[in-house]
């Protein structure tokens, strides 16, 4: 009997053996998708790319907007509308989706420990503000409404209409009950016996017709936690009989880990194009042979792997391979008088899925493999009695009689606007992976199509995620950290605002008391908006103290004015040197290398008609994505500076050279601060009580932690877990949409807004090339 946790999809730490597949399998999940079908019919598809254009309008994204993106990522533009706040080019929807939640962290963490979050800031070129976290952040971003726990609603599962009620079904006479009994059975009880393999002509060692067959070398002990793999093959007809032309292998969770075309050595007589979609033209570029996939399959399967398929004897004979542990769904869902249900019928009756549509060009081997795997998982989860109550025999007979009048659906049904991400995942016949600490893993564990893995530490979350993410098309991984205490949060907020203000402040001088300041002031104002300007008279010779509104203006002033002669005096321009600005030079270089800033330029001196002028000559600025013109919050008037965002670093630099040249005469440089940072800094509490230049001592508890370099200190944790997430990211498939969410927090002591980052792995014209990451 299953435990209660097994029924709800939870897997305690001690029962994780099934999911612990080898590293070889994880590395094997390279992009082998079935894009081969159109390879010879159209040019190679461009890599997916996220658009930043809509970020220019609003740099804060709500959980509801994140939910829009995730549902779009699951179902694609043909089923749900595009998100209202971003776009994905060159792709219907991403190959895989991975969401990392850093519970307990906020935007304050990211910018307080900016240098430590090295990997994240360099890789993800799209960052945005998140409103302070609600009481249930996870439920909000995946769109879960308040409802009773349990499996997904039956309406999303779908089923064939039953011709008989439960009361009219004689369960004792049902073929499945007669074979398996009425109680739930374990995995080992569903395996084909040696007698069944002989009866149904499965390839066996020692059989005279299997002399050249290759064994998979799987000889481990089978338990109820052994891993399942769905297998399906396509065949053609050669002069010597049926030969393999395609193999698909699907892991638990629905992720395809092998999808290969195979070219027979013997001349092909019939490609069976109407079934497989394979043509002679497609095979022109195929070099993979049978021995290659035999070797690859043997390397992929762990010792206790169980292969699941529909009429597996045909697939194994096409592969010319022998495997000892098999579940054949055509025999598992046994029918009267030795007949067998078709896979298409079982998919509809059991899973509520329409497969093998008559209007498609071919069967999808990956879809068949995934369906067979899900049928076996359904049998293990619900048991023979539940299946017998469906009265499959009656339904099958009814379908055969009414086949001519049936109209299978051609597309996935359009979900209701309030449909959750979980229900969208269920609509496409897949499962969602959720890995989290045990105390935070209860939210999704009651949903049937969510594989929940509970862990005892963040380190275990990382290890489980490393193994599991390649096996699932949609994954949510949640790390949990202790949030800052209210006192520490207040101190850090004040210090952060002081630090950014000091970095945006410059001192220009020294000058004589009779110096004409007007030319110098005019020059200083040309670099960007000034928040305040005052004289410093405490020094022997006067200086001008200028606090700029944006960091780029201060840096431009230092780079342009330092050492030049104005009104006969050599001017030195510098920042105040305090504890908070000691690492300013390093920080400036890293801000320039931030993936979000590399493609963006800052310009000062722009007019109200600048945007119209730019669009009028847009051909001179290839790759331009957005022109961001900040406005005064009180008057609503356009300010005299702007940011221009481009697709690539090269396009941005080319535009900068043009716009700061003799024709445009603007002042500018590469961007240092994204807009969400400006919004966040404005959201701080009122001005700090410390004037610029005053040394701020950290609280004793932080001093002690830094001295002992404890791994749980936020500074060390930021570096350590940023690197760990980087390793997980580097192992993802190209085309994977990845989101990093620092939810922030909301409490009686105040609110901390969150921060989101996102990107597509190997995004087109990636800005991280050559950065040594």
Question: How many CA atoms are closer than 13 Å to the CA of 525, on its beta-carbon side?
Answer: 10
The CATH code belonging to domain 175-403 is: 3.30.420.10
> 404 φ, ψ to 5°?
-65, -25
Residue the block writes with tokens 């069967």: 363
pTM more than 0.85:
no
Q: Which of the four CATH numbers 3.40.50.1980, 3.40.50.2300, 3.10.180.10, 3.30.70.330 does domain 501-574 have?
A: 3.30.70.330
SS (H, E, C) 133-179: CCCCHHHHHCCCCCCCCCCCCHHHHCCCCCCCCHHHCCHHHCHHHHH
C-alpha pair distances (Å), 635 with each of 59, 263, 393, 631: 20, 70, 74, 8
Identify which has the larger pLDDT, 530 or 10.
530
Spatial distance between the Cα atoms of 517 and 460, rounded to a whole number of angstroms: 63
**Structural contact between residues 249 and 230, judged by C-beta atoms closer than 8 angstroms:** yes
- Strands of 170-227 (E only): list them: 214-215
- Least reliable range by pLDDT among 72-81, 189-198, 648-657: 72-81
Q: What is the pLDDT of residues 117-139, one digit of tens each?
A: 988 988 888 888 898 877 788 98
CA torsion sign for 432, 438, 444, 448 is positive
Q: Between 458-468 and 714-730, two packed helices, what is the crossing angle to 10 degrees? A: 10
How high is the pLDDT of residue 301? 94
Mean pLDDT score of the chain: 79
How high is the pLDDT of residue 415? 64
How high is the pLDDT of residue 437? 92
The CATH fold assigned to 48-143+420-482+701-760 is Alkaline Phosphatase, subunit A (3.40.720)
How high is the pLDDT of residue 399? 59
Where in the chain is CATH 3.30.70.330?
501-574, 598-671
Identify which has the larger pLDDT, 320 or 77.
320
User: By C-alpha distance, which of 483, 495, 383 is closest to 7?
Assistant: 383
What is the mean predicted confidence (pLDDT) over 269-298?
Answer: 85
> 596 φ, ψ to 5°?
-80, -25
The pLDDT-based confidence of 558 (bands split at 50, 70, 90) is: very high
Q: What is the CA radius of gyration of the chain?
A: 31
Residue 608: pLDDT over 50: yes
The CATH code belonging to domain 598-671 is: 3.30.70.330
- Least reliable range by pLDDT among 109-118, 148-157, 476-485: 148-157
How high is the pLDDT of residue 1? 41
Q: What is the pLDDT of residues 705-728, one digit of tens each?
A: 444 445 457 788 888 899 999 999
Spatial distance between the Cα atoms of 264 and 697, rounded to a whole number of angstroms: 74
* Token pair belonging to 534: 């005052």
The pLDDT-based confidence of 647 (bands split at 50, 70, 90) is: confident
What is the mean predicted confidence (pLDDT) over 653-677?
Answer: 90
Q: Between 486-503 and 551-561, two packed helices, what is the crossing angle to 10 degrees? A: 30
Residue 623: pLDDT over 90: no
Q: 450-455 and 667-670: which strand pairing?
A: unpaired
405: which DSSP letter? G
The pLDDT-based confidence of 372 (bands split at 50, 70, 90) is: very high
Where in the chain is CATH 3.40.720?
48-143+420-482+701-760
Q: What is the pLDDT of residues 147-187, one digit of tens each?
A: 433 444 433 333 444 433 343 455 777 788 888 888 899 99
The pLDDT-based confidence of 360 (bands split at 50, 70, 90) is: low
Residue the block writes with tokens 């005064």: 632
What is the mean predicted confidence (pLDDT) over 143-148?
Answer: 61
What is the mean predicted confidence (pLDDT) over 139-150?
Answer: 67
């Amino acid at each position: 009997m299953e435990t209660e946790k097994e029924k709800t999809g939870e897997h305690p730490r001690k029962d994780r053996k099934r999911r612990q597949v080898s590293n070889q399998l994880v590395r094997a999940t390279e992009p082998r998708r079935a894009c081969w079908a159109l390879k010879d019919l159209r040019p190679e598809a461009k890599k997916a790319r996220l658009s930043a254009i809509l970020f220019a309008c609003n740099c804060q994204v709500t959980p509801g907007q994140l939910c829009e993106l995730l549902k779009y990522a699951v179902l694609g533009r043909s089923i749900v509308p595009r998100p209202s706040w971003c776009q994905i080019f060159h792709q219907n929807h991403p190959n895989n989706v991975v969401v990392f939640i850093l519970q307990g962290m906020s935007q304050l963490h990211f910018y307080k420990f900016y240098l430590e979050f090295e990997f994240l800031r360099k890789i993800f070129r799209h960052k945005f503000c998140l409103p302070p976290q609600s009481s249930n952040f996870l439920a909000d971003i995946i769109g879960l409404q308040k409802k009773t726990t349990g499996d997904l609603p039956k309406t999303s599962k779908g089923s064939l209409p039953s011709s008989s009620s439960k009361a009219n079904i004689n369960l004792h006479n049902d073929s499945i009950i007669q074979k398996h009994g009425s109680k739930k059975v374990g995995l080992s009880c569903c395996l084909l016996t040696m007698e069944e393999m002989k009866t149904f002509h499965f390839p066996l060692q020692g059989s005279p017709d299997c002399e050249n067959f290759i064994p998979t070398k799987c000889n481990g002990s089978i338990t109820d936690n052994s891993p399942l793999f769905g297998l399906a093959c396509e065949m053609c007809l050669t002069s010597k009989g049926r030969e393999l032309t395609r193999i698909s292998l699907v892991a638990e969770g629905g992720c395809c880990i092998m999808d290969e075309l195979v070219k027979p050595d013997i001349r092909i007589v019939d490609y069976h194009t109407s079934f497989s979609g394979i043509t002679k033209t497609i095979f022109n570029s195929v070099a993979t042979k049978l021995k290659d996939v035999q070797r690859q399959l043997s390397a992929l399967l762990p010792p206790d792997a169980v292969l699941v398929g529909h009429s597996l004897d045909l697939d194994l004979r096409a592969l010319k391979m022998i495997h000892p542990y098999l579940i054949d769904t055509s025999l598992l869902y046994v029918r009267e008088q030795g007949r067998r249900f078709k896979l298409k019928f079982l998919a509809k009756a059991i899973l509520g899925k329409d497969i093998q549509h008559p209007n498609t060009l071919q069967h999808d081997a990956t879809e068949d493999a995934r369906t067979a795997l899900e049928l076996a998982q359904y049998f293990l989860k619900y048991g023979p009695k539940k299946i017998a109550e469906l009265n499959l025999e009656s339904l099958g007979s009814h379908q055969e009689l009414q086949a001519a009048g049936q109209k299978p659906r051609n597309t996935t049904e359009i979900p209701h606007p309030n449909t959750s991400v979980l229900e969208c995942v269920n609509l496409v016949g897949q499962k969602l992976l959720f890995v989290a600490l045990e105390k935070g893993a209860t939210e999704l564990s009651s949903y049937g199509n969510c594989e929940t893995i509970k862990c005892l530490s963040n380190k275990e979350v990382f290890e489980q995620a490393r193994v599991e993410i390649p096996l699932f098309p949609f994954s949510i991984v949640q790390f949990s950290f202790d949030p800052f205490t209210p006192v520490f949060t207040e101190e850090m907020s004040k210090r952060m605002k002081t630090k950014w203000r000091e970095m945006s402040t410059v001192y220009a001088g020294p000058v004589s008391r009779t110096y004409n300041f007007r030319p110098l002031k005019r020059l200083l104002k040309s670099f960007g908006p000034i928040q305040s300007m005052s004289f410093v008279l405490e020094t022997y010779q006067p200086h001008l103290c200028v606090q700029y509104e944006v960091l780029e203006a201060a840096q431009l002033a230092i780079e342009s004015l330092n050492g030049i002669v104005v009104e006969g005096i050599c001017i030195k321009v510098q920042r105040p040197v305090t504890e908070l600005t000691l690492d300013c030079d390093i920080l400036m270089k890293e801000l320039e290398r931030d993936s979000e800033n590399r493609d963006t330029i800052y310009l000062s001196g722009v007019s109200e008609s600048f945007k119209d002028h730019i669009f009028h000559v847009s051909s001179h600025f290839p790759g331009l994505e957005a022109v961001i013109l900040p406005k005064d919050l009180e008057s609503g008037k356009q300010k005299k500076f702007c940011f221009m965002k481009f697709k690539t670093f090269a396009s941005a630099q080319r535009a900068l050279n043009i716009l700061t040249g003799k024709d445009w005469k603007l002042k500018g440089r590469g961007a240092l601060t994204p807009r969400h940072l400006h919004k966040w800094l404005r959201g701080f509490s009122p001005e700090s009580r410390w004037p610029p230049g005053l040394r701020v001592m950290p609280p004793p508890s932080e001093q002690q932690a830094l001295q002992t370099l404890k791994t749980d200190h936020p500074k060390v944790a930021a570096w350590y877990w940023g690197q760990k997430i980087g390793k997980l990211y580097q192992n993802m498939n190209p085309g994977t949409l990845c989101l990093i969410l620092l939810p922030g927090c909301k409490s009686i002591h105040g609110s901390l807004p969150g921060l989101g980052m996102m990107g597509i792995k190997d995004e087109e014209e990636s800005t991280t090339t050559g950065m040594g990451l």
